[in-house]
Amino acid sequence: MRRGPTALMAMLFAYCAGSQSSEAPADLAQLGPRPAWLVDQMEPGPLKEKLAGCINRPAHRTSFSIGHRGAPLQFPEHTRESYLAAARMGAGMIECDVTFTGDGVLVCRHAQCDLHTTTDILFKPGLAEKCQTPFTPAQFDPQSGELIAPATARCCSSDLTLAEFQQLSGRPDRVNPRAGNIS
Protein backbone atom coordinates (compact mmCIF):
# COMPACT_ATOMS: atom_id res chain seq x y z
CA MET A 1 0.00 0.00 0.00
CA ARG A 2 1.46 3.36 -1.04
CA ARG A 3 1.22 6.10 1.56
CA GLY A 4 1.13 9.86 1.16
CA PRO A 5 3.48 12.30 2.87
CA THR A 6 4.47 11.20 6.34
CA ALA A 7 5.42 13.10 9.45
CA LEU A 8 9.08 12.78 8.50
CA MET A 9 8.43 14.39 5.14
CA ALA A 10 6.48 17.15 6.84
CA MET A 11 9.44 17.62 9.17
CA LEU A 12 11.79 17.82 6.22
CA PHE A 13 9.53 20.30 4.47
CA ALA A 14 9.37 22.47 7.59
CA TYR A 15 13.14 22.54 7.84
CA CYS A 16 13.48 23.54 4.19
CA ALA A 17 10.76 26.18 4.34
CA GLY A 18 12.58 28.08 7.09
CA SER A 19 15.26 30.67 6.46
CA GLN A 20 18.96 29.85 6.55
CA SER A 21 20.02 29.75 10.17
CA SER A 22 23.22 30.85 11.85
CA GLU A 23 22.64 28.37 14.68
CA ALA A 24 25.59 26.48 16.08
CA PRO A 25 26.37 23.08 14.51
CA ALA A 26 25.02 21.43 17.69
CA ASP A 27 21.56 22.46 16.49
CA LEU A 28 21.96 20.58 13.22
CA ALA A 29 19.76 17.52 12.91
CA GLN A 30 20.95 14.18 11.55
CA LEU A 31 18.06 12.79 9.54
CA GLY A 32 19.79 9.75 8.08
CA PRO A 33 18.67 8.04 4.84
CA ARG A 34 14.98 7.48 5.61
CA PRO A 35 13.58 10.89 4.50
CA ALA A 36 15.30 10.59 1.11
CA TRP A 37 14.00 7.05 0.71
CA LEU A 38 10.46 8.20 1.57
CA VAL A 39 10.67 11.02 -0.99
CA ASP A 40 11.91 8.53 -3.60
CA GLN A 41 8.79 6.40 -2.99
CA MET A 42 6.38 9.27 -3.71
CA GLU A 43 4.45 9.68 -6.93
CA PRO A 44 5.91 12.42 -9.18
CA GLY A 45 4.50 15.87 -8.49
CA PRO A 46 5.17 19.32 -7.02
CA LEU A 47 5.43 18.10 -3.41
CA LYS A 48 7.97 15.43 -4.35
CA GLU A 49 10.00 18.02 -6.29
CA LYS A 50 9.95 20.45 -3.36
CA LEU A 51 10.97 17.79 -0.86
CA ALA A 52 13.68 16.39 -3.16
CA GLY A 53 15.20 19.89 -3.25
CA CYS A 54 15.57 19.75 0.53
CA ILE A 55 17.43 16.45 0.74
CA ASN A 56 20.96 17.90 0.74
CA ARG A 57 20.20 21.00 2.80
CA PRO A 58 21.14 21.15 6.48
CA ALA A 59 18.28 20.38 8.82
CA HIS A 60 17.96 22.21 12.13
CA ARG A 61 16.25 21.28 15.38
CA THR A 62 12.85 22.92 15.74
CA SER A 63 10.00 22.75 18.23
CA PHE A 64 7.69 22.09 15.25
CA SER A 65 9.21 18.61 15.04
CA ILE A 66 7.88 16.10 17.55
CA GLY A 67 9.48 12.72 18.25
CA HIS A 68 6.40 10.52 18.78
CA ARG A 69 7.56 7.80 21.21
CA GLY A 70 11.09 8.75 20.21
CA ALA A 71 12.19 7.52 16.78
CA PRO A 72 10.21 4.25 16.67
CA LEU A 73 10.76 3.38 13.02
CA GLN A 74 14.48 3.03 13.74
CA PHE A 75 14.62 2.02 17.42
CA PRO A 76 12.20 0.33 19.83
CA GLU A 77 9.69 2.96 20.92
CA HIS A 78 9.89 4.48 24.40
CA THR A 79 13.55 3.54 24.88
CA ARG A 80 16.47 5.77 25.74
CA GLU A 81 17.96 5.01 22.32
CA SER A 82 14.76 6.03 20.57
CA TYR A 83 14.54 9.33 22.46
CA LEU A 84 18.21 10.15 21.73
CA ALA A 85 17.73 9.33 18.04
CA ALA A 86 14.68 11.60 17.87
CA ALA A 87 16.69 14.45 19.40
CA ARG A 88 19.56 13.86 16.95
CA MET A 89 17.09 13.89 14.07
CA GLY A 90 15.92 17.34 15.13
CA ALA A 91 12.91 16.75 17.34
CA GLY A 92 12.46 19.82 19.49
CA MET A 93 9.90 17.94 21.59
CA ILE A 94 9.66 14.27 22.46
CA GLU A 95 6.19 12.92 23.19
CA CYS A 96 5.80 10.18 25.77
CA ASP A 97 2.69 8.07 26.40
CA VAL A 98 2.36 7.33 30.13
CA THR A 99 1.31 4.26 32.08
CA PHE A 100 2.01 3.22 35.68
CA THR A 101 3.92 0.50 37.49
CA GLY A 102 2.57 -1.69 40.29
CA ASP A 103 4.02 0.72 42.86
CA GLY A 104 2.28 3.68 41.22
CA VAL A 105 5.23 5.25 39.38
CA LEU A 106 4.56 6.78 35.95
CA VAL A 107 6.64 5.35 33.09
CA CYS A 108 6.77 6.03 29.35
CA ARG A 109 4.93 3.22 27.54
CA HIS A 110 2.52 3.11 24.62
CA ALA A 111 0.09 0.79 26.38
CA GLN A 112 -0.35 -0.53 29.90
CA CYS A 113 -0.14 -4.18 28.81
CA ASP A 114 2.35 -4.42 25.93
CA LEU A 115 5.50 -5.54 27.75
CA HIS A 116 5.31 -9.07 26.29
CA THR A 117 5.51 -7.68 22.73
CA THR A 118 7.84 -4.68 23.25
CA THR A 119 10.40 -5.84 25.84
CA ASP A 120 12.45 -8.87 26.83
CA ILE A 121 10.25 -9.66 29.86
CA LEU A 122 9.50 -13.24 28.73
CA PHE A 123 13.25 -13.97 28.70
CA LYS A 124 13.61 -12.95 32.36
CA PRO A 125 12.14 -15.81 34.43
CA GLY A 126 11.74 -13.84 37.67
CA LEU A 127 9.83 -11.09 35.86
CA ALA A 128 7.95 -13.32 33.40
CA GLU A 129 6.35 -15.09 36.37
CA LYS A 130 4.71 -11.78 37.34
CA CYS A 131 2.83 -11.42 34.03
CA GLN A 132 -0.98 -11.45 34.29
CA THR A 133 -1.06 -14.19 31.68
CA PRO A 134 2.14 -16.26 31.46
CA PHE A 135 3.40 -17.37 28.07
CA THR A 136 1.45 -20.32 26.68
CA PRO A 137 2.74 -21.88 23.45
CA ALA A 138 0.57 -22.20 20.37
CA GLN A 139 -1.35 -25.45 19.97
CA PHE A 140 -1.61 -27.26 16.65
CA ASP A 141 -3.80 -30.11 15.44
CA PRO A 142 -1.48 -33.16 15.40
CA GLN A 143 -3.00 -34.53 12.18
CA SER A 144 -3.50 -31.43 10.05
CA GLY A 145 -0.93 -29.12 11.61
CA GLU A 146 -3.55 -26.35 11.71
CA LEU A 147 -3.33 -23.78 14.45
CA ILE A 148 -5.89 -24.58 17.16
CA ALA A 149 -4.94 -21.90 19.70
CA PRO A 150 -2.44 -19.06 19.23
CA ALA A 151 0.42 -18.44 21.64
CA THR A 152 -0.61 -16.06 24.39
CA ALA A 153 0.94 -13.83 27.04
CA ARG A 154 -0.09 -10.60 28.72
CA CYS A 155 2.42 -8.58 30.68
CA CYS A 156 1.53 -5.16 32.06
CA SER A 157 3.57 -2.32 33.50
CA SER A 158 1.37 -2.59 36.59
CA ASP A 159 2.57 -6.20 37.08
CA LEU A 160 6.02 -4.84 38.03
CA THR A 161 7.55 -2.37 40.45
CA LEU A 162 9.66 0.46 39.03
CA ALA A 163 12.85 -1.39 40.05
CA GLU A 164 11.67 -4.48 38.14
CA PHE A 165 10.52 -2.42 35.15
CA GLN A 166 13.99 -0.86 34.91
CA GLN A 167 15.50 -4.33 34.36
CA LEU A 168 13.72 -4.65 30.99
CA SER A 169 15.20 -3.86 27.59
CA GLY A 170 13.07 -2.57 24.75
CA ARG A 171 12.66 -4.36 21.44
CA PRO A 172 10.63 -3.69 18.30
CA ASP A 173 6.94 -4.50 18.79
CA ARG A 174 6.25 -8.00 17.51
CA VAL A 175 4.29 -11.11 18.32
CA ASN A 176 4.27 -14.59 16.82
CA PRO A 177 0.88 -16.27 17.32
CA ARG A 178 2.40 -19.57 16.11
CA ALA A 179 5.24 -19.56 18.66
CA GLY A 180 6.03 -22.85 20.34
CA ASN A 181 8.46 -21.20 22.77
CA ILE A 182 9.62 -17.71 23.73
CA SER A 183 12.65 -17.62 21.46
Cα separation, 164 vs 162, in Å, equals 5
CA 138 to chain centre: 27
Which of 61, 96, 131 is a domain's end point?
A: 96
Summarised one tens digit per residue, pLDDT across range 33-84 is 777 888 899 999 999 999 998 888 887 766 666 666 666 667 777 788 888 8
Residues 78, 124: one domain? no
Residue 117 is part of which domain span?
Answer: 99-165
pLDDT at 16 over 70: no
Residues 42, 123: one domain? no
Residues 116, 85: one domain? no
Residues 63, 110: one domain? no
Residue 111 falls within a domain, yes or no?
yes
Mean predicted lDDT score pLDDT of the chain: 80
Residues 34, 58: one domain? yes
Residue 133 falls within a domain, yes or no?
yes
Report the candidate in 127, 100, 122, 126 with the shortest Cα–Cα distance to residue 111. 100
Which of 41, 61, 96 is a domain's end point?
A: 96
Residues 83, 135: one domain? no
Q: Which residue has the higher pLDDT, 141 or 4?
A: 141
Residue 175 falls within a domain, yes or no?
no
Residue 177 falls within a domain, yes or no?
no
pLDDT at 1 over 90: no
Cα separation, 130 vs 135, in Å, equals 11
pTM for this prediction: 0.65
Task: Encode 14-48: b = buried (16+ Cβ within 10 Å), e = exposed.
Answer: bbeeeeeeeeeeeeebebeebbbebbeebeeeeeb
Phi, psi for 146 (deg, rounded to 5): -70, 145
Q: Which residue has the higher pLDDT, 126 or 13?
A: 126
The SS3 of residue 182 is: coil
Name the band, by pLDDT with cuts 50, 70 and 90, for residue 29. Answer: low
Name the band, by pLDDT with cuts 50, 70 and 90, for residue 20. Answer: very low
Residues 104, 91: one domain? no
Cα separation, 99 vs 1, in Å, equals 32
How many domains does the structure of the chain reveal?
A: 2
Residue 46 falls within a domain, yes or no?
yes
Residues 88, 104: one domain? no
Cα separation, 10 vs 32, in Å, equals 15
Cα separation, 39 vs 49, in Å, equals 9
Cα separation, 55 vs 97, in Å, equals 31
Report the candidate in 18, 32, 6 with the shortest Cα–Cα distance to residue 60. 18
**Highest averaged pLDDT of the listed ranges 3-12, 38-47, 65-74, 143-152:** 143-152
pLDDT at 168 over 60: yes
Residues 13, 85: one domain? yes
- Is 19 in contact with 60 (CB distance < 8 Å)? no
Amino acid at 156: C
Residues 107, 139: one domain? yes
Residue 72 falls within a domain, yes or no?
yes
